[in-house]
Each structure stands twice: as C-alpha cells, then as structure tokens.
Amino acid sequence: MAYSTMKKRADYQRKYYTEHRAEILKQQKLRRETVTGRNTTYHRKYKRRIKKEVMMHYGGGQCVCAICGETNLYCLSIDHINGRGNQERKTKRFIVWGGNIYGYLRKAHYPTGYQVLCMNCQFIKWAIQRGDVDWSLMSDIEDNSI
Ligand SMILES: [Zn+2]
C-alpha cells in the first residue's frame, strides 16, 4: 500500500500494531523459538560429534581420560600436555576459543602436544603446577607424576 507521506505510513503501522499486538507478539515468539530451537539442536549435535571425533583421535581410538580412565564425554576435555593452553588461546584467539578448540584441532590435522583429560584430572594438574596442593587431601592419589 502506497502512502503519500512517511508520516501517514508510520501512523498506519502504529495503528495496525496496536490493533494486532497480541497476534504479532505470538508470531514473533513462535518464530524465535522455532529458529533458535532448530539451530541449538543442530549446533549441539554438531559440536558433540566434532568433540567425540577429536577425543577419539587423542584417546587412541576411545574417549577416555589419560590418567583416571573416565569415559563420560561431558567430563572430558583436551589438555595441553606442556601446559601452554593460555598462551595458545591468546595467540590463536580467533580459532582456539572455548568449544572451538575441537574444530581447530581437526582442521589442523591433529597436531601433537594434546591429550584427553577429565576435568578432575585437569584441576589436579593445574593445582600441582601452581604448587597449590595439599597432599594430605589427596591421600588416594598414588601417582603424583601428572
Ligand atoms: Zn581423569
């Protein structure tokens, strides 16, 4: 519909919105949920597949922690064997960031220097590196060579 002035058009749109507000908001909500829901599911599945693939490579054919043997994919993460992860995140910020490290490792044809660790073993490793370990709390851990 053509309007002689921009003001007439804006007036019509304002009037239309006021009369159909509930209907418009309902459509917007439905579209938002549908689109984001579909994307979220797709991305979640995609990221899980890539993570599993990377874990399988660095775990020698299985998704398993190199220290304790944990196999739950949600607990497992990639560890920089020489502890230079922070430095790498700074220098390769645009690709090695958060969940994208799996995509990066795959694209880079699985460079060496990485291993699969569960988060518990990561935390213990970091504590040992910081020198912040109270060995009396870790009486069950026999292997201190992490
Ligand atoms: Zn572990």
Greater confidence (1 vs 79) lies with 79
Residues 3, 12: Cα–Cα separation, whole Å: 9
pTM of the predicted model as reported, rounded to 2 decimal places: 0.61
Neighbours of ion ligand 1 (CB under 5 A): 65, 67-68, 70, 118, 121
Where residue 73 falls (left for φ over 0; alpha for ψ -120 to 50; beta otherwise) is alpha
CA distances (Å), origin 13, targets 1, 6, 18, 118, 137: 11, 11, 9, 56, 68
pLDDT at 137 over 90: no
- Please give the share of the chain, as a percent, with pLDDT higher than 70: 78
| CA-based R_g, the chain, Å | 25
Greater confidence (142 vs 56) lies with 56
Residues 83, 69: Cα–Cα separation, whole Å: 20
Residues 106, 76: Cα–Cα separation, whole Å: 17
Q: What is the mean pLDDT of residues 82-103?
A: 69
Per-residue pLDDT at 28: 84
Per-residue pLDDT at 4: 83
Ranges of beta strands (E only) in the chain are 76-80, 114-118
* Ligand 1 centroid to residue 59 C-alpha, Å: 12
* Ligand 1 centroid to residue 28 C-alpha, Å: 45
Structure tokens at 35: 């689109």
* Ligand 1 centroid to residue 75 C-alpha, Å: 9
* Ligand 1 centroid to residue 68 C-alpha, Å: 4
pLDDT at 58 over 90: yes
* Ligand 1 centroid to residue 71 C-alpha, Å: 9
Query: How many separate helices (H) and strands (E) can be counted in the chain?
Result: 4, 2
Greater confidence (46 vs 133) lies with 46
* Ligand 1 centroid to residue 109 C-alpha, Å: 25
* Ligand 1 centroid to residue 64 C-alpha, Å: 8
